[in-house]
A and B are shown apart, each in its own frame.
Chain A
Amino acid sequence: MRRFEYFEPATLGEATQLLSGGGHVLAGGTDLLVEMKEQLRRVDRVVNIKKIPGIAGLTYDEREGLRIGALVTARQVELSSIVKEKYSGLVQAVRELGSIQVRNRATIVGNVCRASPSADTLPPLIADAAVAEIHAASGTRKVLLEEFFTGPGKTVLGADELMTAIVLPLPAPRTGKVYIKHGRRKAMELATVGVAVSITLNAEVRVVLGAVAPTPIRARKAEEVLQGRKLNEELIEKAAQAAADESRPISNVRASAGYRRDMVRVLTRRALEQAMRCC
């Protein structure tokens, strides 16, 4: 690693001041250290946010829902019984993220801020209607996660801002949530396609696609096909096709665009069928 200046701010205020001067956030470090070692990112100043109080909690209550603080690791979410019960799609995605060693360090908020189009946690978080809480010297703001991403590695987060938490609203009764990842092997893999769905019986349906556009996207046309309807085989097939039509995949080393688009159709159908059985 190249030499850098290292800071451990004790408050959010100190952290955002350091960040506005060109600092890079260190939370889990599982992306940052790799990018520094492979010289993908030039980093002169590392801001370790782990000493800041109040951003480490993973909490759930019947009013707010699930709050994932900026320091909460993927492994904490994976092992949480309340997440397993209420946000099953997120747990399915987290189990696919790197290895246990990586998940013991990597944070959910870090995975979000890295904004990789293929990141496993993003489709289920968007399907869960997640809201990001962002701190800056000028105050705090909330951003709907589906409006947070602007391109590969790009977000609406300003240089002087820090995401402090992600909040997932309480799921409605009789809601089924599923995430399915498609890769070439079972573990230590980046998604070729990822599909998350959330179905509330005879009410809201959300379909979110990962790795098939510059950002994770909601498949709005697929959702429209299903919204408020009693799902059947024919409607599911129609929605799956709509999702495939809406995807904008690229061809790369992992798969061709055509293959990805077809997998969107297959996995959307499969995810809808599975989620329906959980409602």
Chain B
Amino acid sequence: MLLKLKINGEARELAVEPYRSLLDVLRNEAGLTGTKKGCDVGDCGACTVIVDGKPVNSCLMLGVEAQGCEVLTIEGLRHPLQESFIRHGGAQCGFCTPGMIMMAKALLDENPRPSEEEVRFAISGNICRCTGYTKIVEAILHVSHRNER
């Protein structure tokens, strides 16, 4: 099938089989490997991307379901969160980071000043096996505090 969609603001046309996930389409057809494949069954959140403004697991969506959609991946994001993750040590191995940042961006779009509890609730579908989450939560809260000005 011919899949027409916008990825990171750019109109793309990709020939995809209906049995490919959006994650595989992004990584293998569009060449955007910033979005990670962890569990591939919706448990880890590493593949989180934003489709039409909503964070989703790209592994749980068929590529063809993104027909006509706007998809935002880590490659298309320029956001204070990225700087904040670096400054606060919110990444160690880095595998969860793209998904974590996309989810955090979606949270801040909806709620610019979340509490710590709201941050933890929002990222509960993103697994990190290195950091223990503390520094990730601090990095997100730092951006949210800047929003208070």
Contacts and interface: CB of A to CB of B under 8 A. Distances in A.
B122 A100 contact: yes
Interface string A180-198: 0000001110000000000
B65 A34 contact: no
Given A1-B21, A104-B55, A188-B124, A26 B62 contact: yes
Interface string B2-46: 000000000000000111110000000000000000001111010
Contacts of B40: 37
A101 B18 contact: no
A4 B45 CA distance: 26
Interface residues of A, number: 27
Contact of A99 (B19, B45, B54, B65): B45
Nearest to A104: B54
Interface in A152-195: 186-188
A76 to B, nearest CB: 10
A96 to B, nearest CB: 10
A105 interface: yes
B71 to A, nearest CB: 13
Given A99-B124, A102-B125, A34 B42 contact: yes
Interface in A4-58: 4-6, 26, 29-30, 33-34, 37-38, 46, 48, 50
B125 A33 contact: no
A63 interface: no
Interface of B: 1, 17-21, 40-43, 45, 48, 54-57, 59-62, 64-65, 103, 106, 121-122, 124-126
Given A33-B60, A75-B54, A101-B60, 6 more contacts: A4-B19, A6-B1, A29-B62, A33-B21, A33-B62, A34-B42
